[in-house]
Amino acid sequence: MKTALTEMLGIEHPIVQGGMMHVGRAELAAAVSNAGGLGILTALTQPTPEDLTKEIARCREMTDKPFGVNITLLPTIKPVPYDEYAKAVIESGVKVVETAGRSPEPFMPAFKAAGIKVIHKCTSVRHALKAEKIGCDMVSIDGFECAGHPGEDDIPGLVLIPCAANMLKIPMIASGGFGDGRGLAAALALGAEGINMGTRFVATKEAPVHDNVKQRMVEASELDTALIFRTLNNTARVFKNSIATQVVEIEAQPGDTNFDDLAPLVAGVKGREVLDKGDLEYGIWTAGMVVGLIKDIPSCEDLIKTIVADAQEIIAARLGRMVQN
């Protein structure tokens, strides 16, 4: 499959592994890249810019294929040295950066000077157009189905992706709800140049995540996610466990939500422990509605090969038979 995505990034298949906090490490990124997709390291998973430099070097030891780095720009209680993380990426010679959260505009001159392709993740058409305007090479459009932060517009991918395609001049990646060949074929039909998958890659052999988490995702249905932080206008989609249910119940109480009441439940360190140690009720962990489509835990190579083969069969055979000459 050749698309603007594969041509621009020098990869074999139009499949990108999304940046995922605590999960986007060298083991997974290298496996995705070796399988012909684009693996992504998550910068802020590393505690310091120096650690990111080491992780990039470790990933290079595992693959000679292209891979990228995600830098998520979010307001935090403890200031993050974003300039230093960006410098680490540039000096390490990485040529693809995925940004998310706030606008990457302050970093664009340095990225462009280093010959880096910038993909900005957006949850609305208006934000995608702004990304295009400031010089991003590509956007990743996140529909309401996605894990993590879907924005506040609640527009699913089936509508959001073609709406963005109607307006954008730069290539677009479809994100949120993708996990099989049907999704890839649909994304291409909707105007995207490929797909971005996060949740689906968590349930792979190479993902640095406890087997309990992976197995629970296999057992899950499309109903097993919850939306939290809605009252704070910072909606997040997470796996529905007892902690997520408590958060939703607190937010449903009359009056304004006090984040201090939620903080002990949603602490990031507790979420990381879920992924590392497998206690599924210890904290919250992000997951998209695509968990309903996950029925196995393959290698990244087998997963990508299956997705591409199934998409090709759908496009060439099934849809081809429906066209009347």
pLDDT band at 321 (very low <50, low <70, confident <90, very high): confident
Determine what percent of the chain is predicted with pLDDT higher than 90: 93
CA triplet 139, 230, 155: central angle to 5 degrees?
Answer: 40
Give the separation between CA 87 and CA 173, rounded to whole angstroms: 26
Q: Read off the pLDDT of each residue in 155-167 and give the average, rounded to a whole number.
A: 98
Q: How many helices (H) and strands (E) does the chain have?
A: 15, 10
249 pLDDT above the threshold of 70? yes
Give the separation between CA 237 and CA 146, rounded to whole angstroms: 7
The per-residue pLDDT of the chain, averaged, comes to: 96
User: Three-state SS string across 125-173, please?
Assistant: HHHHHHHHHCCCCEEEEECCCCCECCCCCCCCHHHHHHHHHHHCCCCEE
10 pLDDT above the threshold of 70? yes
> Is the dihedral angle over the CA atoms 57, 58, 64, 66 positive or is it negative?
negative
How is residue 181 annotated by DSSP?
H
Return the domain boundaries, the chain: 4-208, 225-286
**Would you state the pLDDT for residue 325?**
61
Number of neighbours of residue 265 by Cβ within 10 angstroms: 16
CATH 3.20.20.70 fits 4-208, yes or no: yes
100-128 pLDDT tens trace: 999 999 999 999 999 999 999 999 999 99
13 pLDDT above the threshold of 80? yes
